[in-house]
Amino acid sequence: MGMEIKTIGVLTSGGDAPGMNAAIRAVVRTAINKGMRVLGIRRGYSGLLTGDAFEMNLRSVSDIIQRGGTILYTARCPEFTTEEGQDRAVKMCKELGIDGLVVIGGDGSFRGARDLSVKGIPCIGIPGTIDNDIAATEYSIGFDTALNTVLQSVDRIRDTSQSHDRCSVVEVMGRGAGYIALHSGIACGALSVLVPEVPYDFQRDIVDKMKKTLKAGKQHFVIIVAEGVGHTQELTKRIEEATGITSRLTVLGYVQRGGVPTARERIMASRLGYRAVELLANGIGNRVVGLQRDEIVDYDIVEALKMVKHFDIDLYKMANVISL
């Protein structure tokens, strides 16, 4: 148990993700319920440096649980990565009376939270990124909604694919990771899923599968490719050349980052936000909360940042079996 925390700040940092508002809502309501004050900080660490903060009450977070994006806005802040910037942030926290901070974002944001914790402002990180590429948690805010958005798009693309006997290549987000690709690929019944974590063989994993499926009587195909694999335009051309099947690429892009959060998203974000404040209420900082085997857990930020995420190779194999 550490010091008593009377006023907390909350900010969102890095790329926005659906469910961030549900997390903010849980943070605000839980904190007020525990007798703390809450300051909302606009535009991430950038707003912390300039003191762009406002007091939040129960009503500040009314009717936001169903909204995509983040009501606190988000922005990059290169200055905050410097020692000088962090010192200014600590000073601003003291000026504003903030003695604890909840940071919703990705690994980059957690590094900032670690630095602030070291400098005396206990911080709790909540994983928020659709890419689900944070090692300390099996689930990060935005992932479930992004999957369903990809699905709805592919369900649409499939109509054209089927009507025209085509191959649709769909590039999905994920930065260096293939989680969105793998999960959406299984869910939409893609013939092949290409991810950066597993090398692929063009002939075996695409051409041979298409030919085998053609023989079985199916003439349209969906192939999901993680953006981290790259060269999707070229790949699409190669598929058409190798198989004779007209092939078209769709890059889903920013639609994947927004939208009304799903049920699971809102519940998970609420649970994570609730736990973050429970930790601060107990004077505990420098932690990242997360989901492990369907339970909310928390780790030391330094340890969390060292963790390595293992790609679920069994799930990948299953995808191959049931995709034919």
| Active-site annotation, residues | 131
Judged by CB under 8 A, the number of residues near its own copies is 84
In angstroms, give the least distance from the CB of 83 to its own copies: 27
CB 314 within 8 A of CB 65: no
The token pair at 205 is: 């994993």
**Binding track over 169-208 against its own copies, x by CB under 8 A:** --------------xx-xxxx-------------------
Residues 133-162 that bind its own copies (CB under 8 A): 138, 144, 147-151, 153, 155-160, 162
To its own copies, the closest distance from the beta carbon of 63 in angstroms equals 7
Which tokens in the block code for residue 310?
């293992």
Tell whether residue 66 is a contact of its own copies (CB under 8 A): yes
Question: Closest approach of Cβ 12 to its own copies, in Å?
Answer: 8
Q: Which of 68, 100, 122, 125 binds its own copies (CB under 8 A)?
A: 68
Tell me if 165 contacts its own copies by CB under 8 A. yes
Distance CA 307, CA 190 (A): 31
Binding residue for its own copies (CB under 8 A) from 105, 106, 178, 258? 258
CB 277 within 8 Å of CB 8: yes
Among 163, 199, 201, 308, binds its own copies (CB under 8 A): 163
Q: Are the CB atoms for 298 and 287 separated by under 8 Å? A: yes
First to last CA, the chain: 55
Nearest to 106 by CA among 87, 146, 133: 133
Which amino acid is present at 280? L
- Name the minimum Å distance from CB 37 to its own copies: 16
What part of residues 21-50 is at the interface with its own copies (CB under 8 A)? 25-26, 29-30, 33, 43
259 binds its own copies (CB under 8 A): yes
User: Using the rule CB under 8 A, is 209 a contact of its own copies?
Assistant: no
Segment near its own copies (CB under 8 A); pick from 201-209, 211-219, 235-243, 299-307: 211-219
69 near its own copies (CB under 8 A): yes
- State the minimum distance, in angstroms, from the CB of residue 282 to its own copies: 16
Q: Which of 50, 55, 57, 202 binds its own copies (CB under 8 A)?
A: 57
Of residues 12 and 286, the one with the C-beta less far from its own copies: 12
Residue 313 near its own copies by CB under 8 A: no
